[in-house]
Amino acid sequence: MRTLVLGANGQLGSNVVTAALDRGWEAHGTVRSSPERAPVECSRLDIRDADRAAALLDERAPDLVVNCAAMTDVDGCEADPERAHAVNGEAPGDLASACADRGIRFVHVSTDYVFDGRDQTPYDESGEANPLQVYGESKLAGERAVRNLDADSLVARLSFVYGTHGFTGEPTGFPAWVRGKLAAGESVPLFTDQHVTPSRAGQAAATLLDLADAGESGTVHVASRSCLTPHEFGRLLADRLDADPTLVEEGSMGDVDREATRPPHTCLDVSAVEAALDRPQPTTDEDLAAIDDALSLDRRAD
């Protein structure tokens, strides 16, 4: 399968590139900033440039495009809604349409932040979207544009993405920050009033390719089976590091002054992806064990 990964330098995109290479697929990437140690050729692309994107599709002639490019700074979206809507809302529709015209499979990545988080039970794919901030509104607009313009596309919603960078192997996301604090013996206040189903980037990347390979379309949730607060997640990390658990302190979303409102409970129901691929999604504990294994293999290789 010839794969083109948009946003290849990011946390998820870099893992999609390595997941494609791992299964012997041909892969190319697009980046906006300079790629770090990319194992594949990467072309420059701002996804808002629809003509350049279409030209790249003709040049690379991929079978599959995975769009991991997005404006992911949730507070930054609040400050610059025009840019957020252009990158997250409009560009994905142009990409989907260009892929549909050329018979290319299109996988687009979205977010649990399309939900308002007022339901206490995990959201399945039919849950009512009602974003609370510009980021979620722009991502929901992107989902709708993709579905309207390419009926065969797949929209995958992820939640609280973390893991290791696919090119550098460096830890990324929330656990990277918490591990740093705990390793330095510093206390870290973590929210007890937010619930998420963390998606490990490497696992999510492989799952996106499995779904594309299986010809799945529509909307699907790709996350772990564990519905956790960041505080509970931090306690899991402290256990793994053998760190003093009292360093993981209780905090509240209300303690932090941020531009964008966060939804309190956006755990995703992953039954649909499990049924589509006939296998269970991992728990967060299993995902953390996979990261520890990868990091110790890297250390041995150094």
Ligand X SMILES: NC(=O)c1ccc[n+]([C@@H]2O[C@H](COP(=O)([O-])OP(=O)(O)OC[C@H]3O[C@@H](n4cnc5c(N)ncnc54)[C@H](OP(=O)(O)O)[C@@H]3O)[C@@H](O)[C@H]2O)c1
Catalytic positions, written as ranges? 135
Among 3, 4, 5, 10, binds ligand X (CB under 6 A): 10
In angstroms, the CA 222 to CA 19 distance is: 15
Interaction mask 154-183, ligand X, x per CB under 6 A = ----xxxx----------------------
Q: Judged by CB under 6 A, does residue 16 bind ligand X?
A: no
In angstroms, the CA 33 to CA 236 distance is: 34
Cβ nearer to ligand X, comparing 199 with 247: 199
Q: Please state the closest distance from residue 239 (CB atom) to ligand X, in A.
A: 22
Number of residues binding to ligand X, judged by CB under 6 A? 27
Q: Judged by CB under 6 A, does residue 111 bind ligand X?
A: yes
Stretch that binds ligand X, among 64-72, 98-106, 146-154, 270-278 (CB under 6 A): 64-72
DSSP state of 254: G
Start-end of H helices in 33-155: 50-60, 74-79, 81-84, 91-102, 134-149
Report the amino acid identity of residue 41.
Answer: E
Q: Please state the closest distance from residue 142 (CB atom) to ligand X, in A.
A: 8
Q: Judged by CB under 6 A, does residue 132 bind ligand X?
A: no
Instruction: List phi, psi (to 5°) of 140.
Output: -65, -40
Among 109, 132, 212, 236, binds ligand X (CB under 6 A): 109
Strand order in the sheet with 199-200: 171-172, 161-164, 199-200
Q: How many CA atoms lie within 13 A of 300 on its CB side?
A: 6
Interaction mask 219-238, ligand X, x per CB under 6 A = --------------------
The enclosing H or E element of 90 equals: none
DSSP state of 123: B
Cβ nearer to ligand X, comparing 87 with 267: 87
Cβ nearer to ligand X, comparing 161 with 243: 161
In angstroms, the Cα distances linking 249 to 63, 189, 226, 291 are 48, 4, 20, 24
Among 22, 39, 43, 46, binds ligand X (CB under 6 A): 46
Q: Which residues contact 18 (CB under 8 A, 6 or more apart)?
A: 39, 166, 167, 202, 205
Among 69, 205, 211, 222, binds ligand X (CB under 6 A): 69
Interacting residues toward ligand X by CB under 6 A: 7, 9-13, 31-33, 45-48, 68-72, 87, 109, 111-112, 139, 158-161
